[in-house]
Amino acid sequence: MNDTAATFAAVFAALFTAHQVGDHWVQTSCQAAEKGGPGWAGRWACSKHVITLTLTKGILFALAAVALDLDVTAAGLALGLGLDCLSHWWADRRTTLAWLASKTAKLEFMSLGTPAHPHHPVDGEGNYAPTLGTGAYSLDQAFHVFFLFLAALIIAAV
């Protein structure tokens, strides 16, 4: 494996780990609930989430870069994290990801696990049983991981 490939692997691992921590532990309940909302309140909630998420990624990346003596450039880091930051904000506004799902024939999958899906989960009495395992969540995370992959490529190669 060459140095660029090893750097890519280390950067992706750091960014993926930071994404999980930032998206699930650092993000506040208020940010999660309001980031897809209309107007400035929704945009501000989404911005606060993406700022703290990007800081989390920066911190974990820096730990990996120092511990592993990664050879990366400031330009690569700025481009990679910038792309990741913008793509995350875009997707987390929710209507944008729903638009993408509609354009790729994924709306039925997106509704999986919600009351909107004809086969939604139910409890013992037949009432809707909320779950985190929704199609929307899966599409959201897959979108983010794709951009983490691109960000790691840019950071390692630039």
Q: Which residues of 61-72 are buried (b: 16+ CB within 10 A; e: fewer)?
A: beebbeeeebeb
Q: Could you give the CA distance from residue 113 to residue 90 in angstroms, rounded to a whole number?
A: 23
Residue 77 identity: L
Of the candidate ranges 88-102, 110-124, 138-152, the one whose mean pLDDT is the lowest = 110-124
> Span 125-150, mean pLDDT?
86
Residue 61 confidence (pLDDT) above 70: yes
Write phi, then psi, for 111 (nearest 5 degrees). -85, -5
Contacts of 154 (CB under 8 A, 6+ apart): 76, 79, 80, 83
Residue 68 confidence (pLDDT) above 80: yes
The confidence band for 128, taking pLDDT boundaries of 50, 70 and 90, is confident
- The pTM of this model reads 0.86
Q: Which residue has the higher pLDDT, 127 or 131?
A: 127
Contact 137, 8 (CB under 8 A): no
**Across the strands, what pairs with 122?**
128
Helices (H) and strands (E) in the chain, counts: 7, 0
Q: Could you give the CA distance from residue 155 to residue 158 in angstroms, rounded to a whole number?
A: 6
Q: Determine the pLDDT at residue 90.
A: 95
Q: Could you give the CA distance from residue 26 to residue 38 in angstroms, rounded to a whole number?
A: 23
pLDDT digits (tens, 9 = 90+) for 7-55: 999 999 999 999 999 999 999 999 999 999 999 999 999 999 999 999 9
> Span 78-99, mean pLDDT?
95
Q: Tokens 């790729």 map to which residue? A: 104
